[in-house]
Structure 1
Amino acid sequence: MRTDTHESATETDTADLMAGKNITFDEMATELSAIELRLRQLARAAEVPATPVELADIIDSLRSTASAVRESGERMGFLARIVDGEVPLATTFPTGDPWGVAARASDREDFGGPAIVPTVWQLLKLAQDAQRATGAGKQTTTYPEAMAGLGIGWESKAASTRRRRERDAAVAAEVLLLTCEKCGASDGQPCRTKTGWAADKAHVGRQREAETIVDERLGYLGNNAVAVPDAR
């Protein structure tokens, strides 16, 4: 639950950003619009600071950031329409490769595997191509139709990367809590070579023990998450 004190606020305090379990593109668009406005207001206020310091560069930076935020907000608003099925989408990429459910059994070696879950840029391109397809009398689809049956257990690359970093950091901390059977290092000490040099990496046994403890705590199996919290 989000607290009212600034000191205790963290990036994990996201409950106030969304009405449900996961944030929607419409909610993202609204939040970005609010951030844009706040940045422009701050830039305007900075024109007359309480202390005479020329802030022209800062003001320009704030307004530039606000413009970038506005573009992202507009993009999220359009994505909201796409995922709701309001915007027609091409059934394939320009290369002829399918996406969504149709890509499950496809082989796209040149692109790193099937594009089952499209990126934002791919969706925008598919929407653009659909306009041409409609004019040429070709078939189009919608996001709900193309993605029907997908999404259960899915986790974004950004979330997966973040969780991997958090796991690695937890392992690094756990290593220093364990005694190394190889060199005897313990109590926050790094492993050492036979000649007494401190090593940046722990001995394999100590490292493996730390990974096992952390993976069991976080729900990992080796390098792979076996339980994805709040995935959809």
Structure 2
Amino acid sequence: MKNTHETATETDTAHLMAGAHITFDELATELSAIELRLRQLARAAEVPATPVELADVIDSLRSTASSVRENGERMGLLARIVDGEVPLVTTFPTGDPWGVAARASDRQDFGGPAIVPTVWQLLKLAQDAKRPGVGETTTYPEAMDGIGIGWESKAASGRRRRERDTAVAVEVLRLPCEKCEAADGEQCKTKTGWAADRAHVGRQRQAEANVDERLGYLGDNPVAVPEAR
């Protein structure tokens, strides 16, 4: 299940990174610490202070630790990739380019040019570079030179869109509705007086415009991406 309600504690991430943005090396280290903590908890849970069989809980903790370890190892490899230590093939198996080379391409697979590759795409590019007779290779810094300004991940843009939608829902109730004369704090009503879950178009449009102006959006699209790189 996706988390749609962030807490203040969840957004406090400054202690996880030395700079403005977390690095893959920092991610790998933090995940390693979490894995160790989970395994320690599993071991401690073998002999709890009160006699209760926790076998299922212990198995779950160890299983989660294994998943965390896999992600940590993946982040460690990505740290080497983005630092340019790992050679990468210049195209995907389909022949499609990535990075700067994909900017002018008309790529149909996967929804368009892979200018910013995914984790799995990078790992595949690194794996293919190990094959005999692979030919030309590149590095992440070379292939991505000039890309990054104003970019944000799908997770970040999705979170910001949810934040926008929440703000619009609040703003709607602050505005009077010219269509049904719903007042501040009231939902829109049908002609017969029934409360509606959806606001009238004019009220909704004005709420969106107010929120977008505050957040720096142009319609559904962000004009400025705070702290993006």
Quickly name the TM-score band, shorter chain normalised: over 0.9
Alignment of structure 1 residues 13-28 onto 2, 5 Å: 13-28=12-27
1:225 aligns with 2:204: no
Give the aligned residue type for 2:66. S
Change (3 A) 1:184 1:164: same
2:207 is matched with: 210
- Measure how far apart 1:9 and its partner are: 4.9
Structure 2: 5+ residue stretches without partners: 1-6
Return the alpha-carbon distance in structure 2 between the equivalents of residues 110 and 230 of structure 1: 30
Q: Give the match's secondary structure for 1:11.
A: helix
1:139 aligns with 2:136: yes
- Measure how far apart 1:109 and its partner are: 1.7
- Measure how far apart 1:56 and its partner are: 1.1
Return the alpha-carbon distance in structure 2 between the equivalents of residues 42 and 197 of structure 1: 54
Q: Give the match's secondary structure for 1:10.
A: helix
2:88 is matched with: 89
Give TM-score, length-normalised by structure 2.
0.95
Return the alpha-carbon distance in structure 2 between the equivalents of residues 30 and 114 of structure 1: 32
- Measure how far apart 1:16 and its partner are: 0.4
Change (3 A) 1:227 1:137: closer
Return the alpha-carbon distance in structure 2 between the equivalents of residues 107 and 178 of structure 1: 45
Return the alpha-carbon distance in structure 2 between the equivalents of residues 26 and 78 of structure 1: 9
1:176 is matched with: 173
Give the aligned residue type for 1:49. P
- Measure how far apart 1:186 and its partner are: 2.3
Change (3 A) 1:183 1:136: same
1:128 aligns with 2:127: yes
1:3 is matched with: none
Alignment of structure 1 residues 10-89 onto 2, 5 Å: 10-89=9-88
Change (3 A) 1:99 1:23: same
Give CA-to-partner distance per residue, 1:25-75, whole Å, 9 cap, x none: 000000000000111111111122222221111111111000000000000
Structure 1: 5+ residue stretches without partners: 1-7
1:164 is matched with: 161
Give the aligned residue type for 2:185. G
Give the aligned residue type for 1:227. A
Give TM-score, length-normalised by structure 1.
0.93
Change (3 A) 1:118 1:12: same
Give CA-to-partner distance per residue, 1:130-155, whole Å, 9 cap, x none: 011xx216111000010011111111
Return the alpha-carbon distance in structure 2 between the equivalents of residues 123 and 199 of structure 1: 48
1:196 aligns with 2:198: no
Give the aligned residue type for 1:14. T
Name segments (4+ residues, structure 1) moved above 2 Å.
Answer: none
Provide the identity percentage: 84
1:148 aligns with 2:145: yes
Matched length: 223
Q: Give the match's secondary structure for 2:25.
A: helix
Give the aligned residue type for 1:81. R
Give CA-to-partner distance per residue, 1:103-148, whole Å, 9 cap, x none: 010001232111100000000000011011xx21611100001001
Return the alpha-carbon distance in structure 1 between the equivalents of residues 158 and 209 of structure 2: 19
Return the alpha-carbon distance in structure 2 between the equivalents of residues 170 and 26 of structure 1: 35
